[in-house]
Amino acid sequence: MPSISRDEVAHLAKLARLAVTEDELDLFAGQLDVILQSVATVGDIATADIPPTSHAVPLTNVFREDVVRPSLGQQQALSGAPEAEDGRFRVPRILGEEA
């Protein structure tokens, strides 16, 4: 199995939206390598003929009646927001640097 490089950990962190530090890159590279090598043993018995199980209780779509029920009001939904404005969530800019 491939060992995990520092650069790969940096890439994973970027994908996972984690602004990890340089020290963490060193720490995690070593640890992820050990963990991934250990868990890779699942490949030893997972042959092509075995169907995968994603869930212990096999379920397809679960439907319910389309009826109006009470739900959170605007004020409650915004109660935990880091910032709100005019009854909406206020977020930092979402467009790129050039915009």
Partner 1 sequence: MTNDLIHATAAELAAKIHSGEVSSVEVTQAHLDRIAATDERVNAFLHVDTEGALAQARKVDEDVKAGKQVGPLAGVPLALKDVMTTEGVPTTVGSKILEGWLPPYDATVTRKLKEAGVVILGKTNMDEFAMGSSTENSAYGPTHNPWDLDRIPGGSGGGSSAALAAHQAPLAIGTDTGGSIRQPGAVTGTVGVKPTYGGVSRYGLVAFSSSLDQAGPCARTVLDAALLHEIIAGYDHMDSTSINAPVPPVVAAAREGLSGDLSGLRIGVVTQFSGEGYQQGVLRSFEAAVSQLKELGAEIADVSCPSFDYALPAYYLIAPSECSSNLARFDAMRYGLRVGDDGTRSTEEVMSLTREAGFGPEVKRRIMIGTYALSSGYYDAYYGSAQKVRTLITQDFAKAFENFDVLISPTTPTTAFKIGERANDPMAMYKADLCTIPANLAGTPAMSVPSGLSDEDGLPVGLQIMAPALQDHRMYRVAAAYEAARGAFGGPSL
- Interface ranges with partner 1 (CB under 8 A): 1, 4, 9, 12-21, 24, 27-28, 31-32, 34-36, 38-47, 50-57, 59, 62, 64, 72, 76-77, 79-83, 89, 91-97
* Residue listed under structure tokens 């935990």: 80
Reference 26, options 47, 45, 40, 5; nearest CA is 5
Q: Which residues pair with 89 in a beta bridge?
A: 84
Considering the complex, state which of residue 52 and residue 87 has its C-beta at the smaller distance from partner 1: 52
Render 63-88 in DSSP notation, one character per residue. -----------HHHHHTT-SSEETTE
Phi (first) and psi of residue 84, to 5 degrees: -135, 155
Considering the complex, state which of residue 62 and residue 68 has its C-beta at the smaller distance from partner 1: 62
Residue 27 CB, nearest approach to partner 1 (Å): 8
The total number of residues written for the chain in this structure: 99
Considering the complex, state which of residue 86 and residue 97 has its C-beta at the smaller distance from partner 1: 97
Considering the complex, state which of residue 7 and residue 91 has its C-beta at the smaller distance from partner 1: 91
Residue 63 CB, nearest approach to partner 1 (Å): 9
